[in-house]
Structure 1
Amino acid sequence: MNQDSAPSRDLPGHIAALLQRAPRDAEGRPADSAGIPWADRDLSGDGNPLHTFDGDDGLAAAAVRSAREQLLAGELDEAGFVNALAGQRLFVPVLAELAEEAAPAPGSSTEPGPGGAPVGDKQADITLISVTSRDGRQTMPVFTSVQALTAWHDKARPVAAETERIMLAALAEGAELAVLDPGAELTFVLRRPAVEALAQATRWVPSYQDPELAESLAGILDLCPGVAQLQLQPGDGVATRTEAGDAVVGGGSGPELSIGVVLAPGADEVDARLALASVQAALSEFEMLRHRADSVQLKLVR
């Protein structure tokens, strides 16, 4: 059927009212909220704030792909991979959810709804998706590509942004963790200190590799009778595995840091229990540890 011969149809009242209230420029043309007409608008180029990633193909950034390949090959450690994400384009999933109908504007011509009541505008809320980790913490899913995002949730819409902005949004939403590419061949958890470092555009040093933390922890030995030394090592939950079962040296949800409590020579079982209790008490007041380590486990070392 020729479009010109199609019968005209009235728009639903709430949509017609919305169009009537839409901003227009001085000549009556549809415009944005600043009064700039949409007609002949050029949305390309560096000056357009809505298109930070002009020409984006939705694939994982080359630097991220390279870092992932090196991580899987054992050529890059956890810190190297996390820090390679800085400044890269990633995606977060959002959902458009229909909200309650807004009340019609005074004097607007709206169609009556059920029972003769006027119907207001349909409104949609755009919400970031978050998930809950196994230990109950709020977690922000983040994706390296549109394909990975839509494979995880086919109704989610991808929003592209730099890593720093995404991590800031995660913290603002109350998330303590971010999980990169959930459901993909490699799912990589960014624990809280890494999320905070990326949000602040600072280099992340894992707690188990942090010389400042190790030096400061040595200062609590005077408070821990029977303890000769504290050893910092990766926790049992630092590593993860690919979907195929291959081990990866990072990306686990924790525990992140293992503190080995080395007992003084000649210590018996009672001494060991007292030593552990004294270390736990001292660590509970250790502010640097709370800031730099996501989760901690203690182990006796004889």
Structure 2
Amino acid sequence: MDSTHSADATGGTPVTRHLPGHIAAALAGAGGPADSAGQPWEGRSLAGDDGKIHNFEDDDGSADSGYLAAVGALVDGSGDEAAVVASLATARVFIPIIARLGAEAEGVDGLAVDKQADMALVTLKAADGRTAMPAFSSADQLAAWHPEARPVAVYAARAALSAVAEGAELLVLDPGSDVTLVVRRPAVWALAQQQDWVPSYTDSTLAGEMAAAAAGFPAVRNIELRPGAGVAAVTRGGVVLSGGGAGPELQVVLYLEDGLDAAAVQELVSGLQSAWSRNVLFGERVDSIEIKLRRAVQ
């Protein structure tokens, strides 16, 4: 027996994920989701005549050196995605906003003129249907992706908080560039809370919780956590990276007793996913899973 079952972290049925208290409190302090960048748009100067970036004096718009070093290590194989996320804890990034026409009025000679224009954060739709927010390591990267978007400089932790406020579960770094990386939901939450992030496939505490739940199913002889098939990202040049993919990010290998038929296996897997989805730690630290079945060695 050697087969794979794929499902999201909720057992295939989407459920509402409650925000951790730190994130909810931060959103409330920033004015709530209606003010996802933390300040009112009205009266904001995004860039002065001298080209300085708003809120970051003497910022020339270049990429953060720590982030570049972490990405470089990921590309050459000496680093991992946890180090990339850790570098974002102190990095400045740019989030794009665009003008959105709220209403029109008739002007001179019957020509339509803007009556009201609002500034809106840009969001993307991921392949699995979830909302993602783009963020850019440099002003040049953002301009190359969308020349008409205006860059707002923020710390990556603020960008993560803005993503949560906009209902985005993913943060996409430098989309359209040579190296595009995805920060998945648990890492986005960790950034927003300014906490360290541990990938689920290396999380010993999570492994213990999942094994404890599996102990309630006698047919499961052992459980093993590994990186999922969706952890890897690929650069534009075809280099496969050990992190930065959109998921599924966690592979759960179940070693089962022999003699189970298909119906019994399906019932077992469904029961396990249901048990895991009720675990708070699992809900916070696992973004998406795939399950691989193997026969336990007698």
Work out the CA distance in 1 between the residues paired with 2:114 and 2:148: 23
1:54 partnered with 2:57: yes
Which of residues 64, 69, 77 in structure 1 aligns to 2:67?
64
RMSD value over aligned CA atoms?
A: 2.7
8 Å CA contact retained: 1:93, 1:141: yes
Which of these two proteins has the greater Rg computed from alpha carbons? 1
| Deviation digits for residues 212-254 of structure 1 (CA, Å, limit 9, x no counterpart) | 1111111113321210111111111001110010010101000
Q: Supply the AA of the counterpart residue of 2:283.
A: R
Work out the CA distance in 1 between the residues paired with 2:132 and 2:219: 40
Report runs of 4+ in structure 1 exceeding 3 Å deviation.
111-115, 119-122, 266-275
Which of residues 168, 171, 181 in structure 2 aligns to 1:178?
171
Name the structure 2 match of 1:212. 205
Work out the CA distance in 2 between the residues paired with 1:112 and 1:221: 68
SS state at 2:83 partner: helix
Which of residues 125, 129, 132 in structure 1 aligns to 2:125?
132
RCO higher in structure (CA 8 A, sep ≥6): 2
Name the structure 2 match of 1:97. 100
TM-score with structure 1 setting the length: 0.75
Name the structure 2 match of 1:151. 144
Work out the CA distance in 1 between the residues paired with 2:171 and 2:62: 20
Name the structure 1 match of 2:291. 298
Name the structure 1 match of 2:10. none
Name the structure 1 match of 2:222. 229
Offset at 1:126? 0.5
Which of residues 151, 158, 165 in structure 2 aligns to 1:165?
158
Name the structure 2 match of 1:79. 82
Q: Measured at CA, do residues 230 and 124 of structure 1 come closer, stay the same or move farther in structure 2, by a change above 3 Å?
A: same
8 Å CA contact retained: 1:226, 1:267: no
The alignment of Structure 1 onto Structure 2 pairs a total of residues equal to 248
8 Å CA contact retained: 2:54, 2:152: no
The runs of 5 or more residues in structure 2 that have no matched partner are 1-41
Offset at 1:275? 3.7
Offset at 1:184? 0.3
Q: Supply the AA of the counterpart residue of 2:179.
A: L
Offset at 1:101? 4.9
| Deviation digits for residues 145-193 of structure 1 (CA, Å, limit 9, x no counterpart) | 1111111111111110101111111110110111000000000001000
8 Å CA contact retained: 2:101, 2:114: no
Name the structure 1 match of 2:8. none
Work out the CA distance in 1 between the residues paired with 2:69 and 2:277: 40
The runs of 5 or more residues in structure 1 that have no matched partner are 1-31, 34-41, 45-49, 103-110
Work out the CA distance in 2 between the residues paired with 1:242 and 1:267: 44
Q: Supply the AA of the counterpart residue of 1:162.
A: Y
Q: Measured at CA, do residues 98 and 230 of structure 1 come closer, stay the same or move farther in structure 2, by a change above 3 Å?
A: same
Q: Supply the AA of the counterpart residue of 2:239.
A: D
